Amino acid sequence: MAIKDYNSDDENNPKRREILAFFVFSLMLFFLISFVSYDPYDLGFYTTQPNTPRMNYGGIIGAYYIFSLVFLYGFSVVLFPIYLLSLSIRLFQGLGFWNFMKWFFYFQFYHVSISIILGISNIKPLSGYTSQFQITSAGGIIGTILGQEIVFVYLGKLGGIVLFLFLSLISLQGIISFSYMLLVKRIYNVILFCIVLIKVLSQKICHFAQILYKKYFKEEKENDFEKYYEKLEDKTVQSDTEQFEDSEPTDIEEKEEKRIIPVVKNTPEKDFPKKDIIRKKTEKWEFPSLDVLKDPLTSSLDLEENVQANAGKLVQTLKEFDIESSVVGIETGPVITRYEIQIASGIKVQKVTVLDNDIGMAMRAKSVRIIAPIPGKSAIGVEIPNQIRKMVFFKELLVSNEFRKSNAVIPLVLGKDISGRSVIADLTKMPHLLIAGSTGAGKSVCINTIIISILYTLSPSEIKIMLVDPKKVELAIYKNLPHLFVPLITQANKVALGLKCLIDEMERRYQLLKEVGVRNIDSYNKKDKKPYRDSLPKDDESIDLMEIVPDKMPYILVIIDELADLMMVAKSEIETSIVRLAQLSRAVGIHLILATQRPSVDVVTGLIKANVSARIAFRVSSRIDSRTVLDTGGADKLLGQGDMLFLNPGDTDLKRVQGAYLEDEEIHGVVEHWTKQAEPVFDDRAMNVIHAPEVEGEAEDPLFNEAVEAIQTSKQASTSFLQKKFRIGYNRASRLIDELEARGVIGPATQGGKTREIYLDKEEHI
């Protein structure tokens, strides 16, 4: 108990510790000056005439001080100042009495171990200094007696060195208080850093050499090649024009099927590739020039060094969770870098998937997405955001090789994947698309890029577009396009009528395909319709056979910007029409693009999901919304600003894409180019239904007649009955009840909650 009190009193006395620490530090300085100036002849042991005056800076005390230490421990005393400095620092930090005694034990044990090693190792370079210091062995008297007389006899030279080297390392750890594992890790990190640094420097040197080579040796060759290519292109255009004049109509139709993008460098005479020049002779449409779009920004930033450093940090982070791994592949995109890692055998994949938040904290990343495993590979994908985002411009996608080589009939230019490749999809193969994402995630920009990509590749005679914009501002810029099928629809009650018009158009087209004897729109557009027109009766000369059986049947694209607003107003009619079109309209060239910022199950219903298999998900607020859109999580981990997950029915896995960016000026430029050429020509049949003038006695709500029949059949006239019967909201059901009362179908509301009186029976209504 007394010892405990003494120890506690010692630890609570900082003055005592500081005095002892200063004493140890002074002892270290005294050792240094005495050891540096030590001379055995300052002492009377080796000569009858010692040095006068003493050569040692510590005087006679310093000479005897060094002599006693060297005599006992030998040359191991050269490390003595390090331990004295460590002891003084530990005392300043609050080293207690018993800890001091433990430290002193480690200190003595270490010196004895080193002295024994020096005594039995017989190191030749030290043999010359032993005579200078007047000692018998490099290990001092301890090394001579314990090392040579005992340890060497019983353990041998090698066995003794190994044993006492191990003991000295243990005692050294007790003296300095450090971890050998931490030391090994730091050495490993330093070596890894040096390897990465050498690799990055070599890559930069090679890159710089390539730039110099291209600048000074290839510039002249490239200029010659461009001149040759321009001459060759002129000849090709001329030969194609001659071939057009001599060819049959069927050959022309086959050529028009392929799409070639405008060339990068535009001139007044060559705004488009040669096939667009041919189309100018057959059509009166001129496609927009690429000069309208902004050039992509060139960046000199090199992310290679940062990517390699992140790879090492990722492996180290997994190792801290007892997961041995190695990076086997890296794919760097404009915003995301995917690291492909392989884990050691015996480790479960689920052990990695739960570490997304821990990896994100270690990598200082905004969000981390883990793909476990990558489809088709025996590796796990870890997607980490780049420190610097690279903006994807729409123009660079149009001039990319992926777009040039694409055979898409209705090409959708989406963006770039994590490998930096352009992502071009074909809407006719989807054949419908669902787009979902929260506010500011990039949904509206994606819709604009889809429309602009169509305006760059298809003329108004090849595609007609129906735009539905309940917000009234998102798609208003396209209201004068000659591509429009009907005027821009902004009223929710007109959407159901518009979709029903499309159903009628779909059935009319199916009947026409049946009579012509083809199965789809592509076969219809390629087939010669003249024999079928000749077979039709010509009793009435006012009938235009070209209108009944047109040469070309244009595609129809329906874009609904906010599906949630429509489902709140007329869910039953909207859902039924969308599902019917999604099921049957592909063969006749009618395609749907549905967009919503609230992807809940009451908006994206099971029937819609079952028939719309292609989906794009931007960042959503929860994992539940991600599962609603994609049937899996991941969209809640996206970064926003165009970062999307694309599910294409032709692919086996989700594709992460950075969406293209379009400014309002670019959209205005493309739209203005088309509006200057022609005004929109709307479909007469659809216009008669959607924008027909209302007559007296006609029901404003499309459900009015069905509501009359339901009330007469069930003999119930209430708001709750109409809600359950037609699955509509309270407001709409209430308006229907008011309209039925105003037209004399039902009586006014009665007191006491009794059912309204029904004035008109079913037969009388009919």
- pLDDT tens sequence across 506-517: 998 998 888 888
Question: What percentage of the chain carries pLDDT values higher than 90?
Answer: 20
Query: Residue 221: pLDDT above 50?
Result: no
Residue 52 domain flag:
yes
What pLDDT does 265 receive? 35
* 341: nearest Cα among 362, 357, 359: 359
pTM of the model: 0.57
Domain that holds residue 743: 699-765
* Mean of pLDDT over the chain: 77
What pLDDT does 765 receive? 42
Q: With bands split at pLDDT 50, 70 and 90, how would you rate the model's confidence at 735? A: confident
What pLDDT does 8 receive? 44
Question: Same domain for 340 and 477?
Answer: no
622 three-class SS: coil
Instruction: Compute the CA torsion angle 729, 732, 733, 737 (nearest 10 deg).
Output: 170
Question: Same domain for 598 and 668?
Answer: yes
* 690: nearest Cα among 497, 467, 505, 558: 497
Quote the CA–CA distance of 169 and 166 in Å, as a whole number: 5
HSE on the CB side for 467, CA within 13 Å?
23
Q: Is 518 left (phi over 0), alpha (psi -120 to 50) or beta?
A: beta
Residue 2: how many CB atoms within 10 A of its CB? 6
Query: Residue 254: pLDDT above 50?
Result: no
Residue with tokens 């989700």: 654
Quote the CA–CA distance of 688 and 691 in Å, as a whole number: 6
Our count of domains for the chain comes to 4
What pLDDT does 264 receive? 35
CA 677 centroid distance within chain? 40
Question: Same domain for 464 and 603?
Answer: yes
Residue finishing a domain among 124, 153, 178: 178
Question: Same domain for 734 and 667?
Answer: no
325-332 and 369-371 beta bridge pairing: unpaired
Mean pLDDT on 316-338: 88
DSSP per position, 654-695: -EEEEE-B--HHHHHHHHHHHHTT------HHHHHHHTPPP-
Asked if 460 contacts 285 with a C-beta cutoff of 8 angstroms, the reply is yes
Mean pLDDT on 331-359: 88
Mean pLDDT on 411-431: 92
Highest mean predicted confidence (pLDDT) among 23-37, 69-83, 665-679: 665-679
**Both tokens of residue 197?**
């640094």
Residue 534 domain flag:
no
Residue 627 domain flag:
yes
Q: What are the residues whose beta carbons fall under 8 Å from the beta carbon of 149, sequence distance 6 or more?
A: none
376 three-class SS: coil
| CATH number, residue 741 | 1.10.10.10
Query: Residue 128: pLDDT above 60?
Result: no
Query: Residue 4: pLDDT above 70?
Result: no
Quote the CA–CA distance of 340 and 318 in Å, as a whole number: 13
588-641 residue pLDDT tens:
999 999 999 989 888 998 899 999 999 999 999 889 999 999 988 889 889 888
In angstroms, how far is the first alpha carbon of the chain from the final one? 108
Residue finishing a domain among 628, 660, 686: 686
What pLDDT does 466 receive? 95
Question: Same domain for 612 and 756?
Answer: no
Check whether the bond before 375 is cis (ω within 30° of 0): no
Question: Same domain for 473 and 622?
Answer: yes
Instruction: Compute the CA torsion angle 189, 193, 196, 199 (nearest 10 deg).
Output: -130
Strand order across the beta sheet in which 336-343 lies: 325-332, 336-343, 380-385, 369-371
Question: Same domain for 28 and 144?
Answer: yes
Question: Same domain for 667 and 716?
Answer: no
Question: Same domain for 46 and 160?
Answer: yes
CA 250 centroid distance within chain? 46
Give, to the nearest 10 degrees, the angle between helix 719-726 and helix 730-742. 120
Residue 353 domain flag:
yes
Residue 236 domain flag:
no
| CATH number, residue 596 | 3.40.50.300
Mean pLDDT on 429-449: 92
Q: Is the dihedral of CA 374, 379, 385, 389 positive or negative?
A: negative
Residue 611 domain flag:
yes
Question: Same domain for 580 and 717?
Answer: no
In the chain, how long is the greatest CA-to-CA distance? 150
What pLDDT does 47 receive? 57
**Both tokens of residue 711?**
């009330």
Asked if 389 contacts 334 with a C-beta cutoff of 8 angstroms, the reply is yes
Query: Residue 696: pLDDT above 60?
Result: no
Which tops the pLDDT comparison, 623 or 541? 623
Quote the CA–CA distance of 411 and 398 in Å, as a whole number: 11
The H or E element containing residue 739 is helix 730-742
Tell me, what DSSP letter sits at residue 637? G
CA 563 centroid distance within chain? 26
Question: Same domain for 319 and 437?
Answer: no
Residue finishing a domain among 686, 720, 747: 686
| CATH number, residue 381 | 3.30.980.40
Q: With bands split at pLDDT 50, 70 and 90, how would you rate the model's confidence at 100? A: low
Q: Where are the beta strands (DSSP E) in 319-410?
A: 325-332, 336-343, 369-371, 380-385
H runs (alpha helix) in 214-329: 219-246, 249-256, 274-282, 304-320
Question: Same domain for 586 and 641?
Answer: yes
Residue 77 domain flag:
yes
Residue 1 domain flag:
no
Quote the CA–CA distance of 676 and 296 in Å, as a whole number: 27
Quote the CA–CA distance of 280 and 552 in Å, as a whole number: 17
Residue 538: how many CB atoms within 10 A of its CB? 9
